[in-house]
Amino acid sequence: MFLGNDMITIENGRLKIDGHDAVELAEKFGTPLYVMSETQIKRNYEKYVDAFKIYEKETGKEFIVAYAYKANANLAVTKLLSKLGCGADVVSGGELYIAKLSGVPSNKIVFNGNCKTKEEIIMGIETNIRAFNVDSISELILINETAKEMGEVANVAFRINPNVDPKTHPKISTGLKKNKFGLDVESGIAMKAIKMALEMENVNVVGVHCHIGSQLTDISPFVEETRKVMDFVVELKKEGIEIEDVNLGGGLGVPYYKDKEIPTQYDLADAIINTMLEYQDKVEMPNLILEPGRSLVATAGVLLGKVHHIKETPVAKWIMIDAGMNDMMRPAIYEAYHEITPCVIRDGEKEKVNIAGGLCESSDVMGKDRELTPIEVGDVVAILDVGAYGISMANNYNARGRPRMVLTNEKGVYLIRERETYADLIAKDIVPPHLL
């Protein structure tokens, strides 16, 4: 019924997550409530490993999944993925801290981002991460200088900008010339940066990195990206430069629209591997790294909200729930679509409704013109596919605490994040003496 959500079922008119009744979860833990399915995360990860195992078989090289922590850095989620053998793609000192707490091996951690601070670079060098994905020449210089001060050598890969249209939302496109990320290939800046690094004493060049965007539902941009990256690897070889790793980033989309089939991990693997193998006679095959985030955790997440009020205006019927844009920003900032369903499916004709949160913002709307079965005050509704960029983008707007989160599997339900209290909201505020 819900494409991509293996753990969600409807039994006797009630929505269940890993076999647990959603309404009962809402009653026990309160709303708004994030529910993450351990079962679904495992399945999503295992599909990547299974799909790309042929690369290791064909080339004898390593394949690494480095989970993009920006999607959802809850410690239970990151520990689960680490236990499964997953690496980490981090973009801050905080995410690196969580990766270390999660037990991710240092040689499976890559550090992305276009504005790394000296403190973060020190932390990465001390951790002996697999690579900093260098985003600019000034960053390269800072990494080298910092490593020299520490008496260490830092591993670096170079994020190139291939000027590939990812055919996705403009705000999550990262691989076009106009985007802020990466070193331009066509102008020669990327080659210049790598040659500079080879002259430096405190960096070790290990690879090339690329990431063109998020929520890609077309395979062709991945093929174009892979080809441009491998063409650059060939150019590097002509200059006598051999690299160990090719990191193609993440970006595989998920089926937010349940009536639309989208590419799978297996489709992605076929496209990338077949393209890379075209270069077997030109260069030695590198280790392959991918940085999926959304496609590992999005479909594992459900946000439950309780209906507190229903009102009708001359133009719409509004369902007011206690889950708002502070809990899940995507509809407000990206106009993103998420499937919404009542957790109790009643008999009766479907009606067109709008589902909104309670914040003082007109953009605090989770779904417009949704045709749903009858809903009453006190019901619970489920917003699907919120495991990525849900809790990680949550905030305290309107002085609201961020929600609880639970993890489910077939054996039980586990609290993995406590709800923030009013005291939490002001815990870091300081009142100067003259105002006391």
pLDDT single digits (tens) 22-45: 999 999 999 999 999 999 999 999
140-184 per-position pLDDT tens digit:
999 999 999 999 999 999 999 887 765 554 544 444 455 667 899
For the stretch 311-325, pLDDT in tens is 999 999 999 999 999
pLDDT category at 370 given cuts 50, 70, 90 is very high
Nearest 5 degrees, angle CA 226-CA 232-CA 235? 145
Residue 110 placed within a domain: yes
Average pLDDT over residues 280-298: 97
358 and 314 in a common domain = yes
pTM comes to 0.95
Distance CA 361, CA 220 (A): 38
Residues forming the annotated binding site?
251, 291-294, 330, 334, 361, 389
Q: Is residue 149 domain-shared with residue 268, that is, in the same domain?
A: yes
Averaged pLDDT of the chain: 95
Residue 339 lies in a domain: yes
More confident residue, 301 or 258: 301
Average the pLDDT over 77-93 and give the result: 98
With residues binned 3-state (H G I as helix, E B as strand, rest as coil), the percentages for the chain, rounded to 5, are 35, 25, 40
- Does residue 164 lie in a domain region? yes
Statement to judge: residues 150 and 283 lie in one domain? yes
Q: Average the pLDDT over 87-109 and give the result.
A: 98
Instruction: Tell me, yes or no, whether 256 and 321 share the same domain.
Output: no
Query: Looking at the DSSP assignment, which residues form a beta bridge with residue 203?
Result: 154
* Per-residue pLDDT at 213: 87
Tell me: do 287 and 303 sit in the same domain. no
Structure-token pair, residue 421? 């209290």
191, part of any domain: yes
Are 286 and 417 contained in the same domain? no
Give yes or no: residues 167 and 240 share one domain.
yes
Q: How far apart are CA 102 and CA 44, in angstroms?
A: 19
Q: What is the DSSP letter of 201?
A: S
Could you tell me the residue range of the domain that residue 197 belongs to? Answer: 61-291
Is 42 a domain residue? no
pLDDT digits (tens, 9 = 90+) for 43-71: 999 999 999 999 999 999 999 999 999 99
Query: CATH code at 357?
Result: 2.40.37.10
The tally of CA atoms less than 13 A away on the side-chain side of residue 217 is 9
435 is a domain residue: no
Whether 361 has a pLDDT exceeding 90, the answer reads yes
78 — pLDDT class (breaks 50, 70, 90): very high
User: How much is the pLDDT for 390?
Assistant: 98
Rounded distance, CA 342 to CA 372, Å?
7
Q: Is 45 a member of any domain?
A: no
- 249 and 306: one domain? no
Q: Which of 235, 250, 216 is nearest to 112 (CA)?
A: 250
**Strand, helix or coil at 275?**
helix
What are the binding residues for substrate? 294, 330, 334, 361, 389
Residues β-bridged to residue 309 = 320
Residues with catalytic roles: 360
State the CATH number of the domain containing residue 114: 3.20.20.10
Total tally of structural domains belonging to the chain: 2
Instruction: Over range 193-198, report the average pLDDT.
Output: 97
